[in-house]
Structure 1
Amino acid sequence: MHKLQVQGVHHITLTGADRQTSIDFWEGVLGMPFIFDQPNLDDPDEGHLYFDPGDGRLITVFTNEKRKPVHKRTPTDPGCVHHLALNVSHATFSQVAERLDARGIPHSGPKDRGFMDSIYFKDPLGFLIELACYRFEPPRGCSHADVMIEAHRDRVALGDYNIQEKHLAHAIERLVHRTQASLSGDREPKNPY
């Protein structure tokens, strides 16, 4: 027996409102280029809009001209999607609250998540969106996931409640030590002063 090994998210499809509301939100608020448009091949009464969230993957939205924005929180029952988190740079994150306020979009305000900062708000149909900004850059050749697993191990070993910046710093140092060669025979910390 073998696993069905996945290699990343191909796309996420959401149920949107009408076509223009969907374009206005995904491109006009979140800045995702609108790159592809066709009918929903499983329902001729719906459109299927494709947006690039910034990494070349896809967020797609089923639209229907009979669906209008309702602003009521979507269900969070077991089996439902709770929220969608999108990555933003620190420079953008520092502007999110101000830019949402300018549009009159209610939001959570910045939230400290230890390894990232987050802010939450709802799309026009009440689906919760999170804009997240990592507090670290992984070392060359490593991924955010590589840093997170190392930071998790450090957090558990120290008995800390959640991942904090000290765990991230230790994780990055260990990853660099493992992945980057050095001519030094002794790479332990030193104090030359």
Structure 2
Amino acid sequence: MKIEQIHHVAYRCNDAKETVEFYRRVLKMDFLVAISEDKVPSTKEPDPYMHLFLDAGNGNILAFFEIPNSPPMGFDPNTPRWVQHIAFRVADEAALLEAKAEVEAQGLEVVGPTDHGIIKSIYFFDPNGHRLELTCVTGTAAQMQELKELAPVMLEEWSKHKKVVTHASWLHEKEFNG
């Protein structure tokens, strides 16, 4: 099997129209497709839904489902809100700072930019409570190669001990040490 790319990633939303308007207004995404049916095609379950598809650039699609007959959306109380998020890449640091100003001009609270050593990111929430990240790559090819080589070693150590593995701690040294 050879995966070519992610076709789409789907999330639940509270209100289909509000969600489309947010992503069009704040992130300038094109609204591509809406599908609405009474039954789920894969399971045949009777569950009316609205399924939305938005263009996230370069063939990437972000999708949402509004499912009004299900209990209201909630958050997993055992997972911190910063963990599950959708990250979108922008061209460079100037574009990231411009995006931050645009998002703040929409009245949204933005965290960052945060320097992750190889990327810089800002964070905010959509109207459904999904955390969004805008990021730009700042790392060098050598840094990325070093991290790729360290990844299996770090994973093995983490898997054995479930304690912080510090081989790549240089990524956030500036952020935590000023």
**Common fold by TM > 0.5:** yes
- Name the CA shift for 1:116/1:63 in 2 (closer, same or farther; >3 Å): same
- Name the CA shift for 1:28/1:65 in 2 (closer, same or farther; >3 Å): farther
Q: Counterpart of 1:126?
A: 129
2:30 and 2:54 in contact (8 A); partners too: yes
Residue 65 (structure 1) shift = 6.3
Residue 63 (structure 1) shift = 2.1
Q: Counterpart of 1:8?
A: 5
Is structure 2 residue 67 aligned with structure 1 residue 59? no
Q: Counterpart of 2:89?
A: 87
Partners of 2:168 and 2:59 lie apart in 1 by 36
Residue 55 (structure 1) shift = 1.4
Root-mean-square deviation (Å): 3.4
Q: Relative CO higher for 1 or 2, CA cutoff 8 Å, sep ≥ 6? A: 2
AA aligned opposite 2:22: F
Q: Counterpart of 2:158?
A: none
AA aligned opposite 1:77: N
Figure out how many residues of one structure are paired with residues of the other and give that number.
148
Q: Report the TM-score, using the length of structure 2 for normalisation.
A: 0.67
* Larger Cα-atom Rg: 1
- Name the CA shift for 1:34/1:155 in 2 (closer, same or farther; >3 Å): same
Percent identity of equivalent pairs: 25
AA aligned opposite 2:84: H
Partners of 1:104 and 1:92 lie apart in 2 by 19
- Name the CA shift for 1:153/1:109 in 2 (closer, same or farther; >3 Å): closer
Where does the alignment leave 5 or more consecutive residues of structure 2 unmatched? 41-45, 152-166, 173-178
Where does the alignment leave 5 or more consecutive residues of structure 1 unmatched? 139-145, 165-193
Aligned pairs for 1:150-189 (under 5 A) are 150-152=145-147, 161-163=169-171
Q: Counterpart of 2:102?
A: 99
Residue 77 (structure 1) shift = 3.4
Residue 76 (structure 1) shift = 6.3
Residue 155 (structure 1) shift = 7.1
Q: Counterpart of 1:28?
A: 25
